[in-house]
Amino acid sequence: MKEEPCADCGKRGDIELNVHSSQFYREWNPSAYQKWDSSGVIGVLPTQVIQALAPENCSFCHTFSSDALDFDLARVEDSLFAKAFPKMTRELMFPGARLPEEDSSWFVQMLTDFIKLPFVEGKPLKDSSPWLDRLGVEQSFQRVVSDSLKTILTSISLKYNVRYLSLPILLKVEILPKAGKKGGFSWKSVWTFWDARYGELAFLTYAEFVAETKTRVAPDRFWAEPFAPYLWRMLKTHPSEIENH
């Protein structure tokens, strides 16, 4: 958490945050867990919709961007997956990695179509409103996935030989310069994990919270750190442990 001093931010140190106003929705699919492959290959996808909001006159937002948010979320995700599923291999689904350069346009279009297809309540995956009516709920649930969504999932699985897909759908972070002692931010995200071979949603979490600084070190990095406990809850929990409510 320590870096060299920054001319714009001043002397850096540990970023200490007070996280509050947290809300969530979580679901785990017991059917997907019955077929769980603890050594399966995970295709890691970038966040599909990112909103990085910051005021123009923010003195510490020079490090803040959509790419920085996505990178930081991937950093947290990598660390937790390695801890929860050490035998699983994570492959980046980016051009030049698991994804050949010549497939990039086709793949981007496929993902664009994927998040626009109807999912819950007839609303597309990129619409987070269905989860807002379920805040405070966590459940074991086998969600119906349409044939259109299944076709895209299974096509990716077969073409690139990946069993699972880690797919953050939405990430909205807004910098709040006047929050806490040296600023803060609000966070909203929809994070999903799919069994691509069988075209099933394995688990999903919606999370929102506000993080404010406790010390005079600006929140100019590590924005995804407060999200880690929400994601860890998904990774370490078996559906059989959940009492639906």
Range from 76-85, 96-105, 110-119, 157-166 carrying the lowest mean pLDDT = 96-105
In a domain, 134, yes or no: yes
Distance between CA atoms of residues 67 and 187, nearest Å: 16
In a domain, 50, yes or no: yes
The tokens for 113 are 């179509």
In a domain, 7, yes or no: no
In a domain, 90, yes or no: yes
Position 3 pLDDT exceeds 50: no
Domain ranges, residue 127: 17-239
For 37, the 3-state DSSP assignment is coil
Q: Looking at residues 67-71, what average pLDDT do you find?
A: 96
Distance between CA atoms of residues 60 and 150, nearest Å: 43
In a domain, 6, yes or no: no
* Helical (H) or strand (E) element with 72: helix 66-84
Strand-strand pairing, 200-213 and 17-28: antiparallel
69-73: Cβ within 8 A, 24+ apart: 69/171, 69/173, 69/223, 69/224, 70/46, 70/168, 70/171, 72/221, 72/222, 72/223, 72/224, 73/47, 73/168, 73/171, 73/189, 73/224, 73/227
Asked if residue 204 lies in contact with residue 189, where contact means CB atoms within 8 angstroms, the answer is no
Give the model's pLDDT for residue 11: 54
In a domain, 144, yes or no: yes
Q: What is the CA radius of gyration of the chain?
A: 19
Q: What are phi and psi of 44, to 5 degrees?
A: -95, 120
Distance between CA atoms of residues 155 and 145, nearest Å: 15
Per-residue confidence band for 35, with pLDDT thresholds at 50, 70 and 90: very high
Give the model's pLDDT for residue 4: 47
In a domain, 109, yes or no: yes
| Number of domains the chain contains | 1
Look at the block and give the residue holding tokens 């994570």.
90
Per-residue confidence band for 97, with pLDDT thresholds at 50, 70 and 90: confident
Q: Could you give the C-alpha distances from 160 to 79, 116, 225, in angstroms and in order? A: 23, 22, 30
Q: Could you give the C-alpha distances from 155 to 126, 141, 152, 234, in angstroms and in order? A: 20, 24, 5, 26
In a domain, 230, yes or no: yes
